[in-house]
Structure 1
């Protein structure tokens, strides 16, 4: 791990892996907002293709605490990291909220991005209504226990259980998801709920970013992600150079449920970028 100090004194925890190949480095952007880097397994899928950078976003994970939470600050932080890494151009692969951050950065800094992989993002329009209904359906058998844990002060073991139950809906098979969610749930990192509240964007932002992006954007989405694929397809239609790739029988973290298919598509994003 290497800490990169930003202009305001905040320090971000970063990691570099991968292989120097002549391609632009790949930056993996985790979701949340308010989580931490959990994309090491994704980095391992692509580490022969390019240098790979990962980092904990501002105030999250192993980065230093920060009350400065906004979309503008998230974009500025990524630009300062690019400068620190001395990378004229980047390939961005973002997951969930990280997909939005990747799209926004490509719009704000079009000369700095060779390609975007928009992995399991939200899309535009009303995705929340169907998402919440599907979340409730998949969590139904755990609802009582989850409600009790949510309402109480939790021990370390209870925090792990709460996270697993809270995240189980993100998997195509919730029963299997209960185990797949365990490694992330067992992280020592705390969820930054302030970042989750304050790093905001809306459909008008997404439409503007989609229209401004000049590089190719590949939209990758599991067909059983509770966040509907239709909303992602709607957003993809606003991007001039877009491709859509649907991963069968996969939820919100497709590299865990369909690793071979996800790896193949990520390779496509990187190879076709340069």
Structure 2
């Protein structure tokens, strides 16, 4: 059931609902990408009503700025209001995990549970990003030269897609299937909003300088599940300080899985998340 959410400043957001059960609102990664968590929604549809949406400027939603974390949090709350949800679980993946965390910190009374999937934690980016860059280049393997060529020059829309597929392929451990998985993510191709990506990444980087989130996270009395893939090229130790700061937290690391752990360990991912959703709080 596709719907249009109208934000408080008139931006039109694409949203869709599936399943039955307590509400879970997804926050996709990026920033500047679109919602690609349909597989996860189907996994959880027997235990939850899942709400997916394209963030402002992304995919099927209107390309209307300005872009900021505060605006993204407000947009997420507009989704909640549109569907008449008093409280909800929020599941965020990758950059969306940071959005989900920020929403929970802003509105803990509106959150039942928080599910933090493949995020990068609350440490300054400088503490882990060089390791991520090394891992990315190593995993690209034979695709590294082409990726570097595309990265350093202006690209056509077709080359934007090629660049994205190469970069997304590193998020999968099985190299024989990685490009196929990345191609599926890029189909249909809805285009990257590079302005949104640049602005929100820069703001997120600034907000993490100085470790100011640690003390705030210690006050977040919301049951939280952190889910990682052990082979994610983003160092998993970057998330340790978030785990240490949260009062009610459990963590599941899926061995042999990458940045999209539900693709490479669907049984383990569903078991962890569905179990968390169906536990009394």
Give the shorter-chain TM-score range. Answer: over 0.9
The normalised TM-score by structure 1 is 0.93
1:155-209 Cα offsets, whole Å, 9 max, x none, are 53x4433221121211123332111111112322111111111122232354254
| Within-5 A mapping of 1:73-112 | 73-112=71-110
Count of paired positions:
270
Q: How far apart, CA to CA, are the structure 1 residues paired with 2:164 and 2:217? A: 33
Decide which of 141, 153, 156 is 1:154's aligned counterpart: 156
Q: CA RMSD in A?
A: 1.6
Give 3-state SS (helix, strand or coil) of 1:272's partner.
coil
Give 3-state SS (helix, strand or coil) of 1:175's partner.
coil
Deviation at 1:103, TM superposition (A): 1.0
Structure 2, gaps ≥5 residues long: none
| Within-5 A mapping of 1:221-260 | 221-260=228-267
Give 3-state SS (helix, strand or coil) of 1:174's partner.
coil
Structure 1, gaps ≥5 residues long: none
Q: Indicate if the aligned counterparts of 1:222 and 1:246 stay in contact, CA closer than 8 A.
A: yes
Deviation at 1:66, TM superposition (A): 1.2
Q: Quote the residue 1:3 is aligned against.
A: 4
Decide which of 204, 211, 215 is 2:222's aligned counterpart: 215
Q: Quote the residue 1:168 is aligned against.
A: 169
Q: Quote the residue 1:183 is aligned against.
A: 184
Q: Indicate if the aligned counterparts of 1:114 and 1:273 stay in contact, CA closer than 8 A.
A: no
Q: Indicate if the aligned counterparts of 2:214 and 2:241 stay in contact, CA closer than 8 A.
A: no
Give 3-state SS (helix, strand or coil) of 1:268's partner.
helix
Give 3-state SS (helix, strand or coil) of 2:189's partner.
coil
Q: How far apart, CA to CA, are the structure 2 residues paired with 1:129 and 1:159? A: 24
Q: Indicate if the aligned counterparts of 1:233 and 1:244 stay in contact, CA closer than 8 A.
A: no
Give 3-state SS (helix, strand or coil) of 1:31's partner.
coil
Deviation at 1:221, TM superposition (A): 0.3
The normalised TM-score by structure 2 is 0.91
Give 3-state SS (helix, strand or coil) of 2:279's partner.
helix
Give 3-state SS (helix, strand or coil) of 2:245's partner.
coil
Q: Indicate if the aligned counterparts of 2:6 and 2:78 stay in contact, CA closer than 8 A.
A: no
